[in-house]
A = this chain, B = another copy of it.
Amino acid sequence: MNRIGLLGIEKLVEIERPFGNVVLLPTIDVTLDIPQNEIETEDYARLLENVNIAIDDVMTQKITSIENFCASILRRIVSCGDIKRAEVKLEAEYAVYRKTPVSSLDTQEMYNILARAILDKGEIKKMVGAEVLGITACPCAQEGLLEYTKEVLENRVGKSDAHELLKELPIATHNQRNASRLLIEVPEKYDIEVEELIKILEGVMSSRLYEVLKREDEVDVVLNAHQNPNFVEDVVRKILVEVSQKYVHLPPESTVFVKSESFESIHQHNAVAIRISTLRELRDEVSAESL
């Protein structure tokens, strides 16, 4: 593999969405696979010069989604020369409006959205994705504290009341910020709404985050997180179940990439889980489990 490219190109682009225009400030990376030992330094320079011209060119046209923007840049670049493989990668912040869970205040939340377009063996593959921050509450420490709590309760109020109380009481555990990321391959003509991916990611965390929380919201978020503990691997698995159920119309060979990283509150290091599968594999697993 012999690859050259430009990393960290920043642009302001306007995406025309059905519900209105969205302004983004993406960072774009472009790489090209070139035959080795056959072209001159000057040609490399021209190839890379073309990358910038291609981006500026595509930006003057109508853009309907981040993945189509990537695909248009890719097509424009590969039209300039004999390139076997090329990739355009984009990451941007994306603001979504929410309501706080109890007080129903309006709040604007920020997510990362991701897209890729890859030319490989004459075909263009698109990927679309999102990265979301949320809370993970640790199930393992919670089990330990459940035992501790059970003992305290049984000693004072007996087994029966203790048993009932444990169903209702939030059990303490360590919890922390987590960043989870989902990328799905889509056929060239097809679009996935990034808002859907953001909803999947937020839905499986122990709790979503909010930029503003009144006291009553904060209690609700913490209760929620403790009723829904998740190890990073649990987050990944739940995302995959959602994806396999929601995207039934996508081709089975579509790749799904999921990563969940917790900034552990009890360690200086992070815990991570990563899964790369095809939709076919996910569908097989889910149906095997539901038997």
Instruction: Identify the A interface with B (CB < 8 A).
Output: 1-12, 23, 25, 31, 36-37, 41-42, 44-45, 48-49, 52-53, 56, 59, 93, 95, 105-110, 133, 135, 139-141, 143-145, 148-149, 152-153, 156-157, 161, 164-165, 168-177, 207, 209-216, 218-219, 221-223, 225-226, 231-234, 237, 261, 263-277, 285, 289
- B168 to A265, Cβ gap below 8 A? no
Considering the chains assembled together, what is the distance between the CA atoms of A23 and B109 in angstroms? 16
Across-interface contacts of A157 in B (CB, < 8 A): 156-157, 161, 165
- Residues on the B chain within 8 Å of A10, using CB: 93, 110, 268-269
On whether A164 and B172 interact (CB within 8 A), knowing A233-B4, A265-B177, the answer reads no
Chain B residues near A168 (CB-CB < 8 A): 152, 156
In the complex, how many angstroms separate the beta carbon of A65 from the nearest chain B beta carbon? Answer: 18
B-chain residues with CB within 8 Å of residue A93 when the two chains form the complex: 10, 12, 25
A-B contact pairs, 17 of them (CB 8 A): A4-B232, A5-B271, A8-B269, A10-B268, A11-B110, A41-B139, A41-B233, A52-B211, A56-B107, A141-B219, A141-B222, A153-B165, A172-B222, A174-B175, A177-B265, A213-B266, A265-B265
B108, A11: Cβ atoms closer than 8 Å = yes
For A148, what are the chain B residues with a Cβ–Cβ distance below 8 Å?
A: 170, 219, 223
Q: Is the CB of A272 within 8 A of B4?
A: yes
What's the Cα separation between A213 and B144 when bound, in Å?
13
Chain B residues near A23 (CB-CB < 8 A): 12, 23
Of the candidates B7, B41, B269, B285, the one whose C-beta lies within 8 Å of that of A234 is B41
- Chain B residue nearest to A226 (CB atoms) is B172
A21 to B: closest C-beta gap in Å: 9
Instruction: Assess the A12–B267 pair: CB atoms within 8 A.
Output: no
- Per the bound structure, the CA–CA distance linking A168 and B148 in Å amounts to 10
How far does the alpha carbon of A222 sit from the alpha carbon of B229 in the complex, in Å? 15
A91 to B229, CA, bound (A): 33
Residues of B near A107 (CB, < 8 A) are 52, 56
Closest to A232 in B: B4
Name the CB-closest residue of B to A92: B25
A231 to B41, CA, bound (A): 7
Q: A222-B172, A289-B37 are in contact. Are A211 and B9 (CB under 8 A)?
A: yes
Identify which of B140, B145, B153 contacts A41 (C-beta below 8 A). Answer: B140
